[in-house]
Amino acid sequence: MDKALTIVADMSGPRKNNITEVINTYSKRLMAFIRKRVGNEADAEDILQDVFYQLLGNTKPIEQLTAWLFTVTRNKITDRNRKKKPELLEDLYTGGSDETEFDWTNLFFDERNSPETDYLRSLFWETLYAALNELPASQRDVFILNEIEGVPFKEIAEQTGETVNTLISRKRYAVLHLRERLLTLKNELLYH
């Protein structure tokens, strides 16, 4: 964070004041948002710093600053998590190697909010939630805790008394089921 403040110090007066004000106004809210999704304090601080670096480097006007900051923060968290996730989970979103190259992640990172992308996102989430509800509670709970809430396997094991390997196995079965249901949706969208 010291480098970010150094960069701000080198700027012209009005821009420096605006950036300083944004950092002072949003730091605590963004850090709380990040901490809920990232288990490691050092990672949380790195993500916050990356968000402010991106703000400093931005040359385009930002119409909705709060939405922009939280979108960038969410994307930074996703990028960091993607680097740490097993490939199996990424299979939930990626389309694979077929010639159409449909990829669910395109919907999440598409900044255009057209009726079509909104509809496809809602279909994705409806299908995902329906598929989660089809799972046995033990598999569903592990998936939600680990993937959606970001709770590490070690903490889940301490809470439930299950071994980490058992939890990983349950999550694996959940991911396989979810992947199958999302593949069915993808095929319906592409071929019907």
Q: What is the reported pLDDT for 88?
A: 45
pTM exceeding the 0.75 threshold for the entire prediction: no
Residue-wise pLDDT for 112-161, tens only, equals 677 877 787 788 888 888 999 999 999 999 998 988 888 899 999 999 99
Return d(Cα 46, Cα 44) in angstroms, integer. 5
CATH 1.10.10.10 occupies which residues in the chain?
87-191
CATH 1.10.1740 occupies which residues in the chain?
2-84
Region 22-37: what's the mean pLDDT? 89
Q: What is the reported pLDDT for 103?
A: 60
Query: Over the chain, what is the mean pLDDT?
Result: 78
Closest alpha carbon to 53 in 3, 12, 100: 3
CATH, domain range 87-191: 1.10.10.10
Share above pLDDT 90 across residues of the chain, in percent, rounded to a whole number: 22
DSSP secondary structure, 7-44, as one string: HHHTS-HHHHHHHHHHHHHHHHHHHHHHHHH-S-HHHH
CATH fold, domain 2-84, is Rna Polymerase Sigma Factor; Chain: A (1.10.1740)
Residue-wise pLDDT for 68-125, tens only, equals 999 999 988 888 776 654 444 444 554 444 444 456 666 666 666 778 777 877 888 8
